[in-house]
Structure formats: structure tokens, C-alpha cells
Chains A and B, each alone.
Chain A
Amino acid sequence: MIAQTTWGWFLVWELFLGWVGAGTYIIGVFLDFWRLKFRLASKIGVMLGPLLILVRTVLQFADLGRPMNAIYILGNPSSMISIGVVVIMVFLVVGAIHIGLWIWPFKVLEKAEKARRLLGLLGVLFAFGTALYAGILLGVVAAVPFWNNSMLPALFLISALSTGLALVTFGSAVFRRRSVGVTPEDIQDSIRHLAKANAVLIGAELFVIATYLIVVHGPSPAADVSVQLLLAGYLAPFFWAGLVLVGLALPLGLNLLGIARRAMSSLGMYMLSSVFVLTGSLVLSYLILAAGVPVTYEPLFGTQAFFTIPAFLGSSGSELTSLVPGMYDYALIGAFFVVLLIVYGVGSVIPVGGKK
């Protein structure tokens, strides 16, 4: 059994940015409905969400074999890609209006609270679509039993909300001196609330991932191979160290510890926890794609057949898109982690916009 080599790192980033962007926007809009001290977090969420989705869309465009033909992408309304592109385009337009009228360059919506929230709710509708569509896109692929599961969109959604919260937490900690009308203590308090919510979400994500592996581990040999790759195969280092430890256990522990201590110094812990969540999320996106074993090499007939290989190797897919871990994959995820750590280090020492 061979894992799919059709989709490579481009799609890993697309999935990751897709759910982070959508989740950030969703969290941002919902925080707008809360007290004034969440206004900073809300603004960060609404600002970053559409920007990340924009980057994601550019990546998707670059990933195409013939980008100049992209005009045809709406040709088949029953294809998840066509549906997703429409959803993302509408989301980008609504997001742009939301940013443009609230944060920069105009501040019309600062006073018009009702209109802002209504616009936000409209955007959230499409943000949910953006977060879910990639999960459905992979989920309808019957030829890859590891993806062909109704739990996958749920995993995408919960991952979106969790990473969204993490990014918003991180952002409000970095920009904590930028807020107008509230004390730094209030901001600390709001960040503590966000961390509390994220602890719940990380717990839920842990549960969903565990359930997913149990559910998918069925009679299909290809899905069995996928689960084996994750738990004990060549993807095991990424799964146990990258996803379970760094992505789930450590941030959960840090958030719980920070909440228990109730101290101001917990801010750094929440930020570090966000760094861990985001790195773990990139690893999750990598693992979902790298563990996708297609049925192509399942026995073609006969229940007792036990292996199928090409008698002549005409390879499909290239080494470029192979997600079998090599130096490149470790380096890329490691580099992402280090960059986030540097941002964390700088951001926690020098808060942006020190007016006070």
C-alpha cells in the first residue's frame, strides 16, 4: 500500500490556512457580541481571517496545473471545488467589506454596532462554509477510505475554531497595549477567557481525533494502513510528537495551568500555548494528507487476495508531491515552529504600540 502522491505541500498549507483563517474570523465576529474588553480580540480576528483566506486562495491558484484556465473552475456545480470557490469568494468579499468599513481605511461601523454584527453574521455563514468545505472535499473521495468519513468535516471545523482562538489569543497578547477604553487588566482577563475556551476546544479536538481513528479503522485495508502509518508507521513521529504532544497535550496543559494560577504572568503561557496549537494544526493538516492511502493497491478481486502492485512501474504522481517524510518535511514544520517562537519571543517582550 502506498500513500497518495497526488496532493503535496501546497494543499497542506491550503487546508491549514483555510481552517485558521475561517476559524479566526468566526471567533472574531462572535467576540464582537461580547463585552467591550473583547473588542481588541474581535478586531484582530476579523482582520486576520480574510487575509489568511486570501493567501490560501493564492496558493490554491498556484497549485493548479494550468492556472491560466482557472476561469473554468465554476463549471461543475456538483464538484466540491466549484462550490468551495464560490463560498470562499463570497467570504472574501464580505470580509473585505467588514474590514474596510470597520478597521481600515474607514471606521464607519465603529458606531453602527447593529450593522456591524449583521455583516459579521453574514460573513460567519460563509466562514463556516470555508472551514467545512475542504473537509467535505476530502470526505467525498470514496477512493481514499481514510478521508471518506463524515467525521472529517467535523474535525476541520473544530480545528478551525481551536486554531482561530489560538491566533486571536496570540494577537491580543501581542497588541495588548493597543486597545482603547479598557485597562490592561481587562485585556489580561479577556485573554484568560479565550484560553479557557480553547482548553475546552483542544479537549474536544483530542476526542474527535481519537474517535476518528477508531471509526475509520474499519474493514477497508487501505484505511487500516493509514491508521497504522499514523500510530506506528513512518508518520508516527509527526503524530505522537507533533500532533498529540505539541499540538494537543502541551497547549491543554499550559492553558489549564495558566487558568489555575490566575496570575498576570500567565500571558506568556497562553501565547506559547497558541504557538503550540498552530504548529500542531499544521502537522494535523500534513498528517491528514500524508496518511491518505488510496484503494488503488487494494486487492482487485477475491477476498483472500493480499497484495496488488504494478507489474510495471509507470509512476503516477511525482517525488515533488510525495508526502513521505524526508528532511524537507521535518525542516518545513520545524521552520514554521521556529518562526512562531520568534514572533512569540519578540511579541511577549515588546508589546506593539506602547502608548501607555
Chain B
Amino acid sequence: MVIDLFRCVACQSCTVACKAENYTSAGVSWHRVMQQEYGTYPTARRSFVPMPCMHCDNTPCLKVCPTGATYKRNDGIVLVDYSKCIGCKYCMQACPYGARQFNDGDAYFPEIGLTAFEKFGGTLVEHVPGTAEKCTFCAHRIDEGVKNGLKPGVDPEATPACVNACPTNARIFGDLDDSNSRISRIVKDYHAEPLRPEFGTRPSVYYLPPSRSVIKGELKW
């Protein structure tokens, strides 16, 4: 995934689309939008940073998981097997992006328990109280789409919900392994960089600079 910080307007559509798609419980948000300021006057800027799980190649949460509940698929998506997770929260501590969230089993309306909508969502997307959850890159959508012969990143049915929901097209999804794909060319040509490269995690989410002057070479990241 590539996220263009120049295009992002922090409308939170991605955050809401994620909650709607994955029926995450109260207090759990697999996707967050951070904001930060950078630069000095007169080139100081405020930028918004949407943050899903980075689906790292060198995965810190997978390394510390004592049960092996966290696993990486062949296509690079990092998932959690909730039937094995014991909820020790070690992965939440180990992730430098804060992508992991703990599901306490909270409901949005505690006095009436889970609503019918929440119960219905639980039948579509697995949620187990007492486990550490995280963004799945909408693996269920990708799997379903690929099964039907669709291409993730091209056909909306095979693409994560946050990418479909983005009104400014700030998110681009595709296969980074395929060097001819649109996303690979964007990463190569537009100085796309991952967050926190100093941790050596090799994330699968790249970011385009928040200012076009960075691409022109007038301003440093």
C-alpha cells in the first residue's frame, strides 16, 4: 500500500470504513490517522499520517509472539490466529507503529450488551475478546476477490475497504512483489518511504511525501 500524504485531508473515511468493514469492537480501531508538524518557519507544515498495520517483512510482533498465533502469509500479509492467541500483549508492546489493539470485549452500549448489528458483524469477521487484534489488509476481501479472478488494487471488490473509501485517492493498493505493477512504479519514482526505517522492519506500507516540494528537492522529509 502507498499512502500519499500530500493528498490526505484527514477526513477519517479510512478509519470509519475500517470499522464498518471489520466490525471492530468499542475502543478498538485498527486504523488511525495521526497528525504531526514538521519543518521550521516559513516552511512549517502540518501533515496527517494515516496508519494501518504496516505488514512488515521483518515482523517484530511475529518474533515476540509466544504462541505462534501471529503468522505471515505467502503474500506478506501478517495475520493473527485468534484461536491460539493468549492475550499476553507482548506484540502490542513490540510494534513500533502501535498497530496492535487489545479487544477487551467492550460493547458500544454496555448497558444492553452487544447490539444486533455487532452480533451480526461477529458472524462475518472473527473477533475474540481477550486477544490482540490488528489490521488484516482486509484479507477476507482480497481472498474472496482473487478467488473470483479479480485483481487486488484494480477491482474494488478485491481491495481493502479503506482504499475504496478514500475520497482523495490518497491510498494506492497493489502487489509490491510485482515490479511492473502501478504501486511498485510509484514507490520507485516518487521517493516513497516507509515509516520508522531505523527499526529495520521493512514495512509494506509506503508513504509519499506530504509536500510536493520534497519531490522537487526543495524541502527535506
Contacts and interface: CB of A to CB of B under 8 A. Distances in A.
Select the residue from B49, B88, B193 with max chain A CB neighbours within 10 A.
B88
Contacts of A74: 66
B89 A302 contact: no
B3 to A, nearest CB: 11
Interface stretch (A185-193, A305-313, A324-332): A305-313
Contacts of A315: 27
B34 A76 contact: no
A134 to B, nearest CB: 12
A144 interface: yes
Interface residues of B, number: 57
B141 to A, nearest CB: 21
Given A64-B88, A142-B199, A300-B34, A78 B63 contact: yes
Contacts, number: 173
Contacts of A292: 93
A34 interface: no
Contacts of B95: 143
Interface string B66-103: 11110000000000000111111110111111101110
Contacts of A142: 60, 94, 96, 199
Contacts of A144: 93
B37 A307 contact: yes
A143 B40 CA distance: 27
A65 B64 contact: no
17 contacts: A6-B89, A65-B87, A66-B128, A69-B85, A73-B88, A81-B90, A137-B90, A141-B64, A295-B96, A300-B36, A300-B51, A304-B38, A306-B37, A312-B12, A316-B27, A318-B102, A318-B104
Interface of A: 4, 6-7, 63-67, 69-70, 72-76, 78-82, 85, 137, 140-144, 292, 294-297, 299-312, 314-318
